[in-house]
């Protein structure tokens, strides 16, 4: 495809995204089915442009004084990808593939410097926090509550492209062997955890490195998992020989990290309310060499779950949430998020915590995790839970991480800056270059 055609395609896809309010991935796939002429490089380029337009939607709307898909795409080309106004004008006007010649107003906006990385702190001071931080205006009170004057800075970090993070699976290999194998895809060690690695974010115009086809992945040596997610799993602490229940296991990323922490000792149970979400875990567990895992199907194994009540040393709760912490990877989600969805998630979190607590044995631990940065889904939910369950007490999540054996000296220093007054952790891309996660640890003391 010609570049002008790619630009037109991006506008078409974002128009569909706005009209149907479906995930961007769905809109992209639907477009691709009717565009068989588009090759892999074309699709990667178009997808990258759409994602960057959504990552920076609020600031691009401010820069262009318009919120149409066309304005977002043209603005992203100029202010995110660095194309000149002349280059954009030529692409737009190219017939028959371009989206149409620029208007005088569009050309004026594209030649201005109201929006762009070069404006730095001045930009943050000149516009409202939600514009500087590229988050929905209605979430401003929640962002300010969580981060105060740093709300725009934290939001801007959530609007950046994410790296490809990997967890080295010590059930199958050593960090040294895995890192040697990852050199082929430019993977390097991450200094915060002994089993973490990273491939730097690729240029948005290019395809993401094909990690899942390299030998190290197929052998089960590595798993694709964000650093924040790895930190959350490690907060289970010293679990070798323990009985552990992953209560909201989903596709099993943290489940497999728990299996590695346990070194295949004792028993790890994985349960999720939705049996469909558990389906990938069967294959993933086999590839990872997780032999101590029992997957509990919510439809056929209800008695098996009930039998675990009051028996677990650790219950790990990766609760359903709004996903504000993973906006880097799913920027479309922040513009589809609505207040009623937040209210539903908060009710679900209360229910999940109360349900999961039944499985903790006396002296056992409960780990509460969300990929949300909002205190409404984190501190507030824990406060409500502790009021209703006075037998549980807060513990320091950083101490649990240290007990896992994965935390490095550098990692402890970095995560100390992420501690909340109650001893939980709120990790963010602005602080440690990970997705955003909240991690709290509780113990049943009586």
pLDDT at 122 over 50: no
Percent of the chain scoring above 70 in pLDDT? 96
Which of 297, 123, 286 lies closest to 219, judged by CA? 286
Collect all residues with Cβ–Cβ distance below 8 Å to 275 and sequence separation of at least 6.
Answer: 297, 298, 299
Look at residue 412 and tell me whether its pLDDT is greater than 60: yes
**Residue 395 dihedral angles phi and psi, to the nearest 5°:** -130, 170
Reported as a pLDDT band with limits 50, 70 and 90, residue 126 is: confident
pLDDT at 277: 94
Every domain of the chain and the residues it spans: 3-113, 164-224, 227-444
Is the domain spanning 227-444 CATH 3.40.50.150? The answer is: yes
The answer to whether residues 75 and 60 touch, using CB atoms and an 8 Å cutoff, is yes
The predicted-structure confidence for 250-259, as pLDDT tens digits, reads as follows 999 999 999 9
6/98 Cα distance (integer angstroms): 8
| Common-topology check for domains 3-113 and 164-224 | no
For residue range 375-389, list pLDDT tens digits in order.
999 999 999 999 999
| CA 134 – CA 324 distance, rounded (Å) | 12
Q: Does the pLDDT at position 424 exceed 80?
A: yes
pLDDT bracket for residue 116 (50, 70, 90): low
Q: What is the pLDDT of residues 253-296, one digit of tens each?
A: 999 999 999 999 999 999 999 999 999 999 999 999 999 999 99
**Residue 115 vs residue 349, higher pLDDT:** 349
The answer to whether 318 is a known ligand-binding residue is yes
* Gyration radius (Cα) of the chain, Å: 23
Burial class of residue 279 in the structure, from the number of CB atoms within 10 Å of its CB (0-12 exposed, 13-18 middle, 19+ buried): middle
Q: Is the pLDDT of residue 202 over 90?
A: no
pLDDT of residue 118: 44
Q: Report the distance separating Cα 265 and Cα 290, nearest Å.
A: 10
Residue of 50, 115, 321, 371 with catalytic role? 371
Q: Which CATH number fits domain 164-224: 3.40.630.10, 1.20.1050.10, 3.40.50.12780, 3.30.70.1170?
A: 3.30.70.1170
Averaged confidence pLDDT in the chain: 94
Contact present, 414 and 426 (Cβ < 8 Å) = no
What is the assigned CATH class of domain 3-113? mainly alpha
Known catalytic residue at 371: yes
């Amino acid at each position: 495809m010609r570049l002008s055609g790619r630009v037109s395609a991006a506008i078409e896809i974002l128009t569909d995204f706005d009209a149907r309010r479906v995930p961007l991935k769905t809109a992209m796939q639907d477009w691709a089915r009717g565009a068989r002429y588009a090759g892999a490089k074309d699709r990667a380029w178009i997808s990258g442009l759409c994602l960057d337009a959504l990552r920076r939607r609020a600031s691009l709307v401010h820069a262009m004084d318009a919120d149409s898909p066309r304005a977002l795409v043209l603005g992203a080309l100029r202010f995110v990808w660095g194309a000149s106004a002349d280059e954009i004008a030529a692409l737009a006007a190219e017939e028959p593939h371009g989206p149409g010649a620029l208007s005088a107003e569009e050309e004026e906006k594209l030649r201005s410097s109201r929006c762009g990385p070069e404006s730095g702190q001045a930009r943050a001071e000149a516009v409202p926090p939600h514009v500087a931080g590229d988050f929905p205006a209605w979430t401003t009170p929640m962002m300010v509550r969580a981060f105060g004057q740093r709300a725009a800075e934290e939001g801007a970090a959530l609007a950046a492209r994410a790296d490809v993070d990997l967890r080295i699976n010590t059930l199958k290999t050593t960090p040294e062997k895995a890192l040697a194998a990852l050199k082929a895809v430019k993977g390097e060690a991450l200094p915060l955890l002994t089993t973490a690695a990273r491939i730097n974010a690729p240029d948005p115009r290019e395809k993401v490195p094909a990690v899942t086809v390299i030998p190290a992945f197929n052998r089960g040596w590595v798993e694709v998992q964000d650093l924040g997610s790895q930190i959350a799993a490690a907060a289970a602490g010293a679990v070798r020989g323990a009985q552990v229940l992953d209560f909201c296991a989903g596709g099993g990323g943290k489940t497999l990290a728990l299996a590695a922490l346990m070194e295949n000792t004792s028993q790890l149970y994985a349960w999720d309310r939705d049996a469909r979400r558990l389906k990938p875990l069967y294959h993933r567990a086999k590839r990872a060499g997780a032999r101590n895992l029992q997957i509990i199907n919510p439809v056929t194994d209800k008695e098996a779950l009930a039998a675990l009540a009051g028996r677990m040393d650790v219950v790990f709760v990766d609760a359903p949430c709004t996903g504000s912490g993973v906006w880097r990877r799913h920027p479309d989600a922040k513009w589809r998020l609505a207040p009623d969805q937040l209210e539903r998630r908060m009710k679900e979190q209360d229910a999940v915590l109360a349900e999961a607590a039944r499985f903790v044995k006396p002296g056992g631990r409960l780990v509460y995790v969300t990929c949300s940065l909002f205190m409404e889904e984190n501190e507030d939910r824990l406060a409500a839970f502790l009021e209703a369950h006075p037998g549980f007490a807060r513990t320091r999540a950083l101490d649990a991480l240290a007990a896992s054996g994965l935390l490095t000296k550098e990692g402890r220093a970095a995560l100390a800056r992420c501690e909340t007054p109650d001893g939980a952790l709120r990790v963010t891309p602005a602080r440690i270059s990970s997705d955003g996660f909240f991690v709290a640890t509780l113990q049943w003391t009586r």
